[in-house]
Amino acid sequence: MSYTVGSLFAGIGGICYGFKQAGCEILWANEIDKAASKTYSYNFPGHNLVSDDIHNLIKPKDLGQVDIITSGFPCQAFSNAGLKKGFHDPRGNLFLETARFIKATRPKAFLLENVPTLKSHDEGRTFEVIKDVITNQLGYSFKYFVLNSKDYGNIPQTRLRIYIVGFRGESNWEEKYKSKTCTKNFNEPIKIPLTKKIQDFLINGKKDDKYYYQTDHPYYPKLKEKMTSYNTFYHWRRVYLREIKSNLCPTLTANMGTGGHNVPLIKDQDGFRKLTPEECVRFQGFPDDFKFPEEVLNGQRYKQAGNSVVVPVIKRIADEMVRVLDLKYGQP
């Protein structure tokens, strides 16, 4: 059975790709960032993308009824990089906007994605609020779990994220319906072997000069001294250069779009360089035919890649959501 999806805080479409690959139909998406909206529309031509502030979407039902709502609501309010201000940060309250959409449209299920510190933020009080809203105000049951893309997506990037999967009308788990509850039947993804390597995601050939440190750059001597391997990543950490000895890409972040030394470094046959934005989205598991529009600037491309999700992990979750929804709704 095919399910329809509405995607809040859609970004450049990482969650949409995962659900599309699981056989779902993306009915609509919402994204406030204009540059991200351009990238989304470029890769999802014909999709109903509403490029606007979610607060301006007064009547959620006007977008169309869907079976599943997804929301990668901004994580900066709960992340270490964003100072962890939580609900005291306007971005933290965007969870409540997601809840407003769920309450108005009553989808069969939802998926929320955020940083793992969401659970421990404010000594757990933030997550208690979220749990109360989901169960008592919305009437959904849910499961949550933290997954690392290197263990669950066959992607050589260290990227921990919390996923919250909810299902309508099962908050009490009535005994007579227990065999058919999606919540009971939903299985958290199991670990899979990491068979892909860094080199599988790098783009062959010399890159544009802007990605390379030139010999007259003040940091070039340090790079030449420290960057001795072709098979690993390096990362600036304030005043020193750190080799990532795990042979994994470090967590890609939106801060890559601010310039400086936030982008992971590699050594190739032509010198010492930063990952390109196109390589960054490959390390997020985006398909090879994904493209950035020419008018989207490099800083925005890095930001969009860092803000996105690991597509194969989303697909595994979406596959399981479809499976348990089929058990409940697919056949009489």
**φ and ψ at 207, to 5 degrees?**
-95, 170
pTM exceeds cut of 0.85: yes
Q: Express as a percent the part of the chain with pLDDT over 90.
A: 75
Looking at the DSSP bridge assignments, the partners of residue 271 are: 268
The Cα–Cα gap between 274 and 219 comes to 13
Instruction: Assess whether 226 and 174 both reside in one domain.
Output: no
Average the pLDDT over 136-146 and give the result: 94
Please give the residue range of the domain that contains residue 168: 4-193+308-330
- The predicted-structure confidence for 173-222, as pLDDT tens digits, reads as follows 444 455 568 888 999 999 999 999 999 999 999 999 999 999 999 989 99
CATH number at residue 10: 3.40.50.150
Tokens (6 digits) for 188: 């958290």
Tokens (6 digits) for 28: 């609509």
CATH number at residue 213: 3.90.120.10
Q: For 137-236, where are the alpha helices, taking DSSP H only? A: 149-152, 182-185, 220-226
At 143, which helix (H) or strand (E)? strand 140-148
Instruction: Assess whether 87 and 236 both reside in one domain.
Output: no
Tokens (6 digits) for 201: 């995601």
Which of 75, 182, 249, 280 is flagged as catalytic?
75
Instruction: Assess whether 218 and 296 both reside in one domain.
Output: yes
Catalytic status, residue 75: yes
- The predicted-structure confidence for 9-59, as pLDDT tens digits, reads as follows 999 999 999 999 999 999 999 999 999 999 999 999 999 999 999 999 999
Instruction: Assess whether 297 and 326 both reside in one domain.
Output: no
Work out how many domains the chain is built from and give that number: 2
The 10 Å CB-count burial string (b at 16+, else e) for 5-20 is bbbbbbbbbbbbbbbb
Task: Find all residues with CB under 8 Å of 305, minimum gap 6, and list them.
Answer: 12, 252, 256, 277, 280, 281, 284
